[in-house]
Chains A and B, each alone.
Chain A
Amino acid sequence: MSRPDPYAPRGLALTLETAGAWLLAIVWIAPLAYAIWTAFHPQEFSTRFVWNAPLTLENFARVLEAAPFGRYMLNTFVYVTFVLACQLVLCTLAAYGFARYDFFGANVAFALVLAQLMIMPDVLIVENYRTMTKLDLVDTAPGIALPYVASAFGVFLLRQTFKSVPKELDDAARVEGASPLQTLWRVYIPLARPVYVAYALVSISYHWNNFLWPLIVTNSVEARPLTVGLQIFAGVDQGIDWSVICTATLISAAPLLVAFLMFQRQFVQSFMRAGIR
């Protein structure tokens, strides 16, 4: 890649392109920039942008006093962890079965798995709510999590990865007397580590931000995740106090945002790896 690209813009074209790219970037980052501005400035500056406006943390104190965001964050954390843990176990087992066992009906079963890539749980809210009522899981972390634990996407991604593992390694483990699960644990899972990281980042981002299903299936402070708590807080309790709304917004996005800023490359590559199938 050291050779010069003959189509790289230069001169005026380069200036124009750089200006356009930065203008778009400013528009794209503006909502976040505004939220940060408003969260750290007193209320009277929430819609007035003066460069020397004083900084304050008072908005955070007001938000945490007005609504149980600590509890919401704990709920989100529990829900996200629960989903991811179940997904990793279920998808790993299924992916291994599909990748290495030519069992009766495997193709039909795999097609049934792929169906979920199109018919996502997001759309089946009415029937899934009925099921959760019957199982008595409404307003619990498993109630939010269970529709997502068997992730077709996870099965697909891991199956691709496991298929690329040399069969000889598998055979070698078998010769030494390893059972299927031991082989999976010692040979396949270590080799698939980057894929697990990618999948985990995508899953965490998705579920941290998930809203519609948690809104439907939770109805108490004890179960509500951040997204739902924020919606209730901003929609009902506050009227329009922008500094408080922006601060709450920032609080709900902060953990993921900080993680993204720290591991930016990792995130982008994970989403890319997860998307290209």
Chain B
Amino acid sequence: MTRLSRHVTGWLLVLPAMAFLALFTHWPALATFIDSFWSTPKGRRPARFVGAENYQHMLSDPVFWKAAWNNLIFAIGTVPASIALALLMAVWVNDRLTGRTLLRMAYFTPTILPMIAVANIWLFFFTPDYGLLDQLRGLFGGQPWPWLGSAETALACVIVVAVWKEAGFFMIFYLAALQQISPTLGEAAALEGASRWTYFRRVQWPLLMPTTLFVFVNAAINAFRMVDHIFVLTHGGPDNATTLLLYYVYEVGFKFWDTAYAAALTMVLLIALALIAAVQFGVIERRAHYR
């Protein structure tokens, strides 16, 4: 193979994929940045350069701040809870309990169900009075409560559904990692008289660290793109109590058709994702070298 043909063949092979990536990933990301400095074209009036106006509007937009805050709470609510539950599920399934195949199936099933579909069922669970949650509470004398209709509990409900959806998916990575740990480590720890908790904390948990970091990054990304259930459960309400950033981008871009402002909002999302990428490549790739 001549040198020239190596370059040509290589480029010809990657070119189709690169073209689609450029058209639907690189260009839109760049265009988002550019458009965020222009006004929204309306009718016969074309877009004009407005500098940082969209960003100034954003800083004074209470709904944006609400959405950003909600998204932060959503991330803090979903990421650690998903990691903890995924680990617990993996330990249980790994422990050869009775019916572990069924357990694994039950935990994993939410992963393959459409979020938009199961959100409808959660909607019933959260319905005041005759919904499942209030029926159960009624057995213990609890009063009906508008779970999704009240600003105090709506975001928590949205978080619960998200954790339910993704914990079983993350479980399988912990399960794989647990099965990689050599049983001789457990035998050695037992000979030394270590308690189960000590064995977990000193041996298993450190060995699972690369998995935890991997799950952390994925859960963090999901926290910024998981919005399907909002469409069913709350539509961002009540009073924007459950509006997340991507949902707000959708509302501004496709309900109010203010595409320039939506571009500025998208930039915030892209920066959030870039920060997660920075964490992944900066911290994780350097620290987790013992995988």
Contact = CB atoms under 8 A, between A and B. Distances in A.
B172 to A, nearest CB: 5
Contact of B277 (A118, A245, A276): A118
A264 to B, nearest CB: 6
A28 to B, nearest CB: 5
A146 interface: yes
Interface stretch (B66-74, B145-153, B268-276): B268-276
A125 B26 contact: no
The residue among B25, B110, B228, B266 with the most chain A CB atoms within 10 A of its own CB is B25
The contact size tier of chain B is: 35 or more
A129 B35 CA distance: 14
Contacts of B32: 124, 126-127
Contacts of A120: 225
B208 to A, nearest CB: 13
A129 B262 CA distance: 12
A53 to B, nearest CB: 16
Nearest to A1: B183
B172 A271 contact: yes
Nearest to A180: B9
A104 interface: yes
Contact of B270 (A14, A20, A119, A209): A119
A212 B227 contact: yes
Interface string B158-194: 0000001000110011011000000100110110000
Q: Which of B24, B125, B253 has most A Cβ within 10 Å?
A: B24
B21 interface: yes
A136 interface: no
Interface in A208-265: 208-209, 211-212, 215-216, 226-227, 230-231, 234-235, 240, 242, 245-246, 249, 252-253, 256-257, 260-261, 264
6 closest A-B pairs (Cβ-Cβ)? A103-B10, A97-B13, A101-B10, A127-B28, A6-B190, A150-B20
26 contacts: A3-B183, A6-B190, A21-B97, A22-B103, A24-B107, A28-B168, A47-B130, A90-B17, A97-B11, A101-B10, A102-B6, A119-B25, A125-B250, A126-B262, A127-B27, A127-B31, A155-B17, A211-B114, A227-B114, A230-B114, A231-B231, A268-B104, A268-B172, A272-B172, A272-B176, A276-B173
Interface of B: 1, 6-14, 16-21, 23-29, 31-32, 35, 88-89, 92-93, 95-99, 101-118, 120-122, 124-125, 127, 130-132, 135, 164, 168-169, 172-173, 175-176, 183, 186-187, 189-190, 196, 199, 214, 218, 221, 224-225, 227-228, 231-232, 246, 249-250, 253-254, 259, 262-263, 266, 269-270, 273-274, 276-277
Given A103-B7, A249-B120, A272-B176, 8 more contacts: A28-B168, A103-B8, A126-B249, A127-B35, A131-B23, A212-B250, A227-B116, A268-B104
